[in-house]
Structure 1
């Protein structure tokens, strides 16, 4: 990374940390908008995953007694299947396509968050949870942004 790109990189990192501290998530989606123009998608995915472990690890440790393993195992299983496939796709995908896809994802997720219609709670079956987990893992493996699909799923559950 060139020296003149260090300031935008650090600024994006602080903005992502602020958003994550304020909202509890979305650090990766904030930083990827800038990081993808400074470093490679593989580096972005690795950094987002690493920072995600640091920033979310504390919250998970504090709330671990509230987790119902019977409820989350299908999402976890699907995610464990999807991540290696996503990482394999990341190594074979054109970086410009990843940048464009993340941009589209950012716009779509921001639009969804702003215009989210008041939908009633949905009952989602375990097989759908596994599919959601696989999609979550694929997205996480390719981009490091593994929480978006499961967050939407949890919001739809009420």
Structure 2
């Protein structure tokens, strides 16, 4: 990788880290749009999972005083169950139409949320949380967006921003653990990818640190709108990736 290409790679890592530090998720959305043009899809997927362990681990550490595993474990359990099911379904299902459907739903939800006042808080039981987690894992296995549904469900509850992140970030961390183990078992973690990981990590950490500093200065409503805006971007990203295949 020559210097100009590495500069692009590093800048994407910096911006991805910043977005993750500020919002708690969406690092993969930011970096994949750039990295897929300069490195292989396998390297991109492996780096997103590996850096996801770093971003989510850092977030968990910073929000450790707000952690409540009683709230997080049903979502986490369901996600771990759902990911391999989603991956397995890919062998039998054309994911294009699913991605199109999910992309449209995300856009509708985000636009509706941005255009109206805050949702009335909902009470969700343990059984429903496990089901939400399974759906979260299924979507992650099918589309790579492993934290979208758990993030939305935390919004529905009306929790403050620190508690939302203290719940959905452990879920994301566990999802990345499962994905990374699967990648290691499949042999997709190569020496070249590990070198890229080491070279990009300082830029990602710098962005992560600065994003988290900004997160500490915003209110709950700004955080809500930021999450909705990123969900809108996720929906647009899914549409952009599927439309060429429908022509």
Q: What TM-score does the superposition give when structure 1 sets the normalisation length?
A: 0.72
Greater relative contact order (Cα < 8 A, sep 6+): 2
Q: Deviation of residue 65 (structure 1)?
A: 4.8
Q: Structure 1, residues 46-85: CA drift from partner, whole Å, max 9, x if none?
A: 3322211111101213434532222222111101101112
Mapped to 2, the partners of 1:152 and 1:127 lie a distance apart of 17
Instruction: Deviation per CA, 1:5-64: give whole Å up to 9, x if none.
Output: 766544433321221223332212222334455643x55443322211111101213434
Match of 2:71 in 1: 71
Conservation of the 8 A alpha-carbon contact between 1:79 and 1:135: yes
Q: Identify unmatched segments of 5+ residues in structure 1.
A: none
Output the aligned Cα RMSD.
Answer: 3.7
Match in the other structure for 2:21: 21
2: distance between equivalents of 1:127 and 1:43? 37
Q: 1 CA distance for matches of 2:101 and 2:35? A: 11
CA distance in 2, matches of 1:14, 1:7: 10
Aligned pairs (5 A) from 1:102-121: 104=103, 108=107, 111=111, 114-115=114-115, 117-121=117-121
CA offset at residue 133 of structure 1? 0.3
Partner residue, 2:56: 56
Larger CA deviation: 18-27 vs 74-83: 18-27
Contact 1:33–1:103 (Cα < 8 Å) also in 2:
no
Using the TM superposition, give the Cα deviation of residue 144 of structure 1 relative to its aligned residue in structure 2, in angstroms: 3.7
Aligned residues: 155
Say which SS state the counterpart of residue 63 (structure 2) adopts: helix
Name which of structure 1's ranges 116-125 and 74-83 shifts more when overlaid on structure 2: 116-125
Quote how far apart the aligned CAs of 1:140 are.
2.4
TM-score (norm 2): 0.50
Tell which structure's C-alpha radius of gyration is larger.
Answer: 2
